[in-house]
Amino acid sequence: MPDADALDSAADALAAGDLVVYPTETVYGLGADALDPDAVARVFETKGRDRSKPISVAVPSVGAALDYTSPTAAERRFMHEFLPGPVTVVVDRQESVPDVLTAGSDRVGVRVPDHDLALALLDRFAPITATSANVSGTGSVRDLPALSAEIREAAAVVLDGGETPGGGSTVVDVTAGEIVREGALADEIRDWLAE
């Protein structure tokens, strides 16, 4: 695990509007200050991601998510049940969350990664973007040798967490009672939604 200096450097980079690559319990993520429209735009540009596809946010805890979002009682129950973990919960955003992040939607995906290094970074700086550290249309990155030149060059700091398990987070719209994208824990989530 990187030392405190590396984490401090990553937090400083985020505060300056720069990009950071960080590990999660699924794949490596590309982080930027999620409340800075210019930094978020840089994430879209670096990934070559279509601006109509929203990007989620990562926070250190469910409590921290409440600073930027307004989940319903059911969404909060779900978040306490499944976060931290490889799950993204779609909830109403607050005004501080920029349009560029959500592609103009009033809702935003929230993630609390179940990874010590990601959480240590988020304790220093949050919220950050939660999107895979790859060029759109290419495979997700599970270890740093697989990181593309485009992403590596765009990132001010790359945090090495070794190889990650892979897979993707399950994206859930609790209010609609549906799984938007299947990933880890999909069966448990389906059971929870059916209760």
Task: Identify the CATH number of the domain in which residue 33 sits.
Answer: 3.90.870.10
**Containing domain of residue 103, as a range?**
4-194
CB 109 within 8 A of CB 57: yes
At residue 3 the predicted structure's pLDDT band, cuts being 50, 70 and 90, is: confident
Q: What is the pLDDT of residues 15-70, one digit of tens each?
A: 999 999 999 999 999 999 999 999 999 999 999 999 999 999 999 999 999 999 99
pLDDT at residue number 1: 63
Tell me which H or E stretch contains 109. Answer: strand 107-111
Global pTM reads: 0.96
Domains identified in the chain, total number: 1
Q: Express each pLDDT in 62-115 by its tens digit.
A: 999 999 999 999 999 999 999 999 999 999 999 999 999 999 999 999 999 999
